[in-house]
């Protein structure tokens, strides 16, 4: 074991597509730096966006955004959203867009799961803004549900790894949470 510097070792992360209304139109960008903050009621989630991006202004203006979960099948479109900026290219027609309770948080029919969020707070770092959103509603396609819950085996999330700069897929489940450790209990 040796120190390797302050390397963020939290990968893999799910690759998401964040939807924002900018200048009256939907815009989408790939976002892997997402966080689960208050895992309670309500739920608060965060997205870390570089200040250079086109999307940030739309969140400031409308105080809403979506976090959409693409499956592996949407890798090409997701990556495109992460390499092309709305400053130069209109990404509004890339997907079949729909809206839920929040009329300025565009969501994506091609993504099996979509979450709409109301802006709660912004953390202002030098290069990035962390947008904290209150989760208002989640929309899921029946095809990824089992017993009323999102089934990640069916969703097949697109995983992001910074070290390899590759997309990865999930492997099989290896054990039950809050259960596997019981064998060590005295
Ligand atoms: C896989 C992937 C993950 C990304 N994750 C983030 C992220 O978490 N935060 C961020 O600010 N940019 C991230 N990006 C970069 C933005 O998606 C990209 O710069 C995008 O073009 C910005 O779009 P916009 O200028 O239209 O807002 C990611 C790109 C890729 C390909």
- Give tens-digit pLDDT for 9-36: 999 999 999 999 999 999 999 999 999 9
In this structure, the residue with its CA closest to atom 13 of ligand 1 is: 31
pLDDT bracket for residue 154 (50, 70, 90): very high
pLDDT digits (tens, 9 = 90+) for 86-130: 999 999 999 999 999 999 999 999 999 999 999 999 999 999 999
Choice between 38 and 99, residue whose per-residue pLDDT is larger: 99
Average pLDDT taken over every residue of the chain: 97
Assess contact for 157 and 101: CB atoms under 8 A.
no
pLDDT at 30: 98
Q: Is 100 touching ligand 1 by the criterion CB < 6 Å? A: no
Q: Is 131 touching ligand 1 by the criterion CB < 6 Å? A: no
Query: What is the C-alpha to C-alpha distance for residues 28 and 94, in angstroms, rounded to an integer?
Result: 9
Report the atom number in ligand 1 closest to the C-alpha of 55. Answer: 27
In 3D space, the residue among 98, 94, 72 whose CA is nearest the CA of residue 83 turns out to be 94
Tokens linked to 146? 């089992």
CA of 43 to the centre of ligand 1 (A): 23
Query: What is the C-alpha to C-alpha distance for residues 62 and 86, in angstroms, rounded to an integer?
Result: 17
CA of 44 to the centre of ligand 1 (A): 21
pLDDT of 186 above 90: no
CA of 58 to the centre of ligand 1 (A): 15
pLDDT digits (tens, 9 = 90+) for 60-78: 999 999 999 999 999 999 9
CA of 65 to the centre of ligand 1 (A): 15
**Length of the chain (residues):** 186
pLDDT at 7: 97
pLDDT digits (tens, 9 = 90+) for 158-175: 999 999 999 999 999 999
């Amino acid at each position: 074991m040796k120190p390797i510097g302050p390397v963020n070792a939290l990968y893999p992360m799910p690759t998401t597509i964040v939807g924002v209304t900018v200048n009256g139109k939907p815009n989408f960008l790939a976002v892997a730096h997402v966080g689960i903050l208050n895992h309670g009621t309500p739920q608060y989630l965060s997205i870390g966006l570089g200040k250079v991006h086109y999307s940030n202004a739309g969140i400031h203006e409308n105080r809403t955004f979506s976090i959409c979960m693409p499956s592996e099948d949407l890798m090409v479109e997701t990556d495109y959203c992460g390499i092309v900026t709305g400053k130069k290219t209109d990404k509004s027609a890339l997907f079949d867009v729909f809206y839920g309770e929040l009329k300025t948080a565009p969501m994506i029919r091609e993504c099996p799961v979509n979450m709409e969020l109301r802006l709660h707070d912004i953390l202002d770092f030098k290069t990035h803004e962390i947008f904290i959103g209150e989760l208002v509603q989640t929309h899921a396609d029946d095809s990824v549900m089992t017993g009323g819950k999102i089934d990640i085996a069916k969703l097949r999330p697109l995983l992001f790894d910074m070290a390899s700069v590759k997309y990865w897929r999930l492997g099989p489940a290896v054990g039950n949470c809050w259960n596997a450790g019981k064998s060590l209990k005295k």
